A = this chain, B = another copy of it.
C-alpha cells in the first residue's frame, strides 16, 4: 500500500467527496449544479473538487463562464460500484 494509494482511499472515504462523485456519475456538471445538488457552500465544493482532482479522480474544462467537471475516466464508475459493494458486504 503506497502513499498515493492511501491518499486515494482517504479521498473517497469522505461523505461530501463521495457525493460529488455520485453526482458526476450522472454526467458532466458545473460547480453551481453540484452545489445545488448537495446543498453546500460554493467554496466548500470548490475545495473538495480540488482534492478529487489532485488524486486524479476528476477532470475539468472551461465552458464560457462555467467550469465543467467530469469523472476522469469511465473506470471510476467501477471504483464507486466496488467501494459500495464492499461497504455493503460488511455493513
Contact = CB atoms under 8 A, between A and B. Distances in A.
Number of identical protomers: 2
Contacts of A4: 91
A11 B55 CA distance: 19
Interface string A66-91: 00000000011001001110111111
Nearest to A3: B15
A73 B13 CA distance: 22
* Most B Cβ at <10 Å: residue of A22, A79, A86: A86
A65 B8 CA distance: 39
A6 B9 CA distance: 11
Contact of A1 (B9, B15, B55): B15
Contacts of A75: 89-90
Interface of A: 1-2, 4-6, 8-10, 12-15, 18-19, 22, 55-57, 75-76, 79, 82-84, 86-91
